[in-house]
């Protein structure tokens, strides 16, 4: 039952949390919402019927505000500000946040000649390999191995060499 | 200076954490810029490669999982259980015999892991048997600095099945695939299903300095390949 709730409502909880937080903070709050559901009978009992999604939305919002208060030492948001955040149109999540976009731009300059279109299609636009290969006029196996090598380079640049 | 808690971040993204360590991570992150930055790097890597989606990660330490990812054959899903590591046999291509033979002290630095990939179930290590319908996927280790790789299988009737490179078009002559030097395990793309015949099957991985093609290797089966390191494993294919 809880697994079904997790599966069906994860995206909505994530979207609500993203109105307030980003990155690791956002993921911490999303996790906290579902862990509370798992571990706290009081929380589960607080659902009195009606829209499960709406109830989860309120829990997520409260969790996000609690997180902000506890970790950011910011002045608490006033009621009007909270209401405005919650009622705002769903923020269009940028494909990459600014710092990440700048990192990616630098990374692309390190790729061998001719690989940047592969990176663009397969890693940024998330096109499947068959479609990307067709668009670029490459054999699929050639594209697959170049993707693999790009992935290795990404891993090395992001996770194995933090001096860069 | 590296934060001593940094391993908590890596373990989270490797799905190797538990509830207690996950909680420790979440308490640590807001106060540690270094670990937060590393977490963000992992997120960026996941965003670019399509791996490690949040819904697959966040509640796993607490025993909750989301639905299995529909895309399973395109990218190898790392095995959660310990995998079978094939140890390099020697510097010479051994004559074809049943089973695994080592001569002298096996050189270190290369390895091959073999997984069976099942849609919706992830991947598991291959033991002594596999089904003719199994999709096989591989990861390799190359601290020895070899430049090229070929992975293929030979059945009892002498039929050769190519995994890497794939050989789908008889008019082409695929060549060995490139290798990075790395002591870490690297996943090869794609889980591949071959029309295997029941019976004995020898899996081969050739780690090469020279870029051979599939026809050269098939012509020289059983002969030594100068400078190559070979990994070999015999399995039984069931219908």
Q: How confident is the model at residue B71 (pLDDT cuts 50, 70, 90)?
A: very low
Contact between A123 and B58 using a beta-carbon 8 Å cutoff: no
B contacts of A11 (beta carbons < 8 Å)? 55
The pLDDT value given to residue B168: 74
When pLDDT is averaged across residues B110-125 and rounded to a whole number, the result is 79
Check whether B195 has a pLDDT greater than 90: no
Check whether B199 has a pLDDT greater than 70: yes
Q: How confident is the model at residue A88 (pLDDT cuts 50, 70, 90)?
A: low
Check whether A109 has a pLDDT greater than 50: yes
Q: How confident is the model at residue A16 (pLDDT cuts 50, 70, 90)?
A: very high
Token pair, residue B188, equals: 């090869």
Check whether B30 has a pLDDT greater than 90: yes
Helix (H) or strand (E) holding B19: helix B19-28
When pLDDT is averaged across residues B181-207 and rounded to a whole number, the result is 85
The pLDDT value given to residue B68: 38
Q: State the nearest Cα–Cα gap between A158 and chain B, in angstroms.
A: 6
- The proportion of chain B whose per-residue pLDDT surpasses 70, expressed as a percent, equals 78
Residue bearing the bigger pLDDT, B234 or B71: B234
β-partners of residue B151 are: B164, B205
Taking CA atoms, B8 is separated from A28, A56, B42, B55, in Å, by 14, 28, 12, 18
β-partners of residue B114 are: B138
Contact between B66 and A71 using a beta-carbon 8 Å cutoff: no
Which has the closest alpha carbon to B145: B179, B173, B121? B179
B65-94 as b/e: b if 16+ CB within 10 A: ebeebeebeebbbbbeeebeebebbbbebb
Q: How confident is the model at residue A108 (pLDDT cuts 50, 70, 90)?
A: very high
Taking CA atoms, B120 is separated from A19, B68, B127, B135, in Å, by 32, 5, 20, 13
Residue bearing the bigger pLDDT, A123 or B83: A123
Residue bearing the bigger pLDDT, B201 or A81: B201
pLDDT tens profile B2-24: 899 999 999 898 777 888 999 99
Q: State the nearest Cα–Cα gap between A154 and chain B, in angstroms.
A: 7
């Amino acid at each position: 039952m809880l697994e079904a709730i997790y599966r069906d409502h994860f995206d909505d909880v994530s979207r609500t949390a993203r109105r307030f937080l980003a990155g690791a903070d956002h993921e911490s709050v999303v996790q906290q919402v579902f862990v509370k559901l798992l571990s706290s009978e009081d929380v589960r009992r607080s659902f009195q019927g009606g829209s499960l999604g709406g109830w989860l939305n309120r829990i997520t919002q409260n969790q996000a505000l609690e997180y902000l208060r506890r970790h950011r030492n910011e002045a608490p948001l006033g009621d009007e500000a909270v209401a405005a955040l919650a009622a705002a149109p769903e923020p269009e999540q940028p494909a990459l946040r600014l710092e990440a976009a700048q990192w990616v731009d630098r990374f692309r300059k390190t790729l061998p000649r001719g690989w940047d279109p592969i990176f663009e299609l397969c890693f940024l636009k998330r096109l499947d390999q068959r479609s990307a290969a067709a668009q670029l006029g490459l054999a699929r196996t050639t594209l697959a191995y170049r993707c693999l090598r790009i992935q290795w380079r990404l891993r090395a640049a992001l996770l194995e060499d933090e001096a860069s | 200076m590296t934060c001593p808690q940094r391993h908590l971040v890596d373990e989270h993204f490797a799905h190797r954490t538990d509830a207690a360590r996950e909680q420790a991570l979440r308490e640590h992150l807001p106060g540690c810029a270094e670990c937060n930055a590393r977490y963000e790097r992992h997120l960026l890597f996941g965003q670019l490669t399509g791996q490690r989606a949040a819904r697959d990660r966040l509640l796993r330490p607490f025993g909750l999982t989301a639905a299995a990812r529909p895309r399973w054959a395109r990218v190898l899903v790392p095995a959660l259980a310990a995998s079978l590591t094939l140890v390099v046999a020697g510097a010479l291509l051994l004559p074809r015999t049943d089973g695994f033979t080592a001569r002298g002290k096996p050189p270190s630095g290369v390895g091959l892991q073999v997984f069976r990939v099942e849609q919706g179930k992830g991947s598991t290590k291959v033991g002594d048997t596999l089904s003719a319908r199994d999709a096989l996927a591989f990861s390799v280790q190359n601290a020895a600095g070899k430049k090229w790789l070929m992975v293929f299988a030979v059945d009892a009737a002498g039929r050769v099945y190519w995994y890497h490179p794939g050989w789908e078009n008889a008019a082409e002559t695929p060549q060995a695939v490139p290798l990075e030097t790395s002591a870490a395990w690297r996943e090869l793309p794609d889980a591949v299903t071959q029309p295997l015949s029941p019976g004995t099957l020898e899996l081969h991985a050739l780690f090469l300095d020279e870029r051979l093609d599939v026809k050269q290797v098939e012509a020289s089966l059983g002969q030594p390949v100068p400078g190559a390191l070979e990994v070999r494993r015999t399995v039984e294919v069931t219908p």
